[in-house]
């Protein structure tokens, strides 16, 4: 898993409530348990028209947002089924952080496990960022996990909370397997002592 310390990126607004995991990655694309191959179908039913062409009205198809790496979302983002494919699709598309007033619990946890940072800010602060994003061409913000702060180059700065264990894992690029492998010598010694045939 890639480390997440500080990320500065272009921002895209998708500020609507209750975006569920079937909207993030529709069920017909869940044909693999590998973490790759889902980015192309992120928000498929919104990004594409019935004939397969790009929907010009969808935010990520607008030229100014096509390379966004930070998503502004509405409350309860990632609700619905607990599919891990939703964070995988967002990460593979190129997002490093999602900022929202709230997230579905399992979605939030699944994001942390792959290095995609979900940031909870008050709804008024997310709305403020949305306005800045819509009014400013190529609007960028910095998400600083080391200092638990989000800021832009003008007048916005806001702290955010994150559990220390999740922060430690992200800062060090450690997923669940990496955490276990930190104790590999102890595991090997235990197996040699107690599991010998």
Report yes or no: 98 and 116 within 8 Å, Cβ to Cβ.
Answer: yes
How many C-alpha atoms does 34 have within 13 Å on its Cβ side?
6
Please give the angle made by the CA atoms of 65, 70 and 73, to the nearest 5 degrees: 90
Q: Which domains does the chain have, with CATH numbers?
A: 6-194 (3.20.19.10)
Please check the confidence at residue 63 and state whether its pLDDT lies above 90.
yes
The CA–CA distances, whole Å, from 57 to 63, 65, 112, 157 equal 11, 12, 30, 30
Quote the pLDDT of residue 196. 66
The CA–CA distances, whole Å, from 104 to 23, 108, 142 equal 14, 6, 24
Range 57-64, long-range pairs (CB < 8 A, 24+ positions): 59/12, 59/13, 59/14, 60/12, 60/14, 64/137, 64/138
Tokens describing residue 41: 């179908």
How many C-alpha atoms does 53 have within 13 Å on its Cβ side?
3
Condensed to tens digits (0 to 9), the pLDDT of residues 68-88 reads 999 999 999 999 988 899 999
Condensed to tens digits (0 to 9), the pLDDT of residues 144-194 reads 999 999 999 999 999 999 999 999 999 999 887 877 777 777 777 778 778
């Amino acid at each position: 898993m890639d480390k997440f310390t500080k990320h500065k990126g272009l921002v895209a607004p998708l500020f609507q409530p209750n975006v569920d995991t079937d909207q993030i990655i529709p069920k017909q694309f869940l044909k693999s348990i590998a973490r790759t191959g889902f980015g192309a179908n992120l928000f498929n039913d919104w990004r594409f028209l019935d004939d397969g062409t790009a929907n010009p009205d969808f935010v990520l198809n607008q030229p100014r947002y096509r390379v966004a790496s930070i998503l502004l979302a509405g409350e309860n983002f990632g609700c619905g089924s607990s599919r891990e494919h939703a964070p995988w699709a967002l990460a593979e598309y190129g997002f490093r952080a999602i900022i929202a007033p709230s997230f579905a619990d399992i979605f939030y946890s699944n994001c942390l496990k792959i290095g995609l940072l979900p940031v909870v800010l008050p709804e008024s602060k997310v709305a403020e960022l949305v306005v800045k994003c819509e009014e400013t061409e190529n609007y960028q913000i910095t998400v600083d996990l080391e200092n638990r702060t989000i800021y832009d180059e003008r007048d916005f700065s806001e702290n955010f909370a994150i559990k220390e264990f999740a922060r430690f894992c992200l800062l060090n690029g450690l997923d669940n397997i990496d955490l276990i492998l930190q104790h590999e010598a102890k595991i090997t010694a235990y197996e040699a002592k107690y599991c010998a045939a």
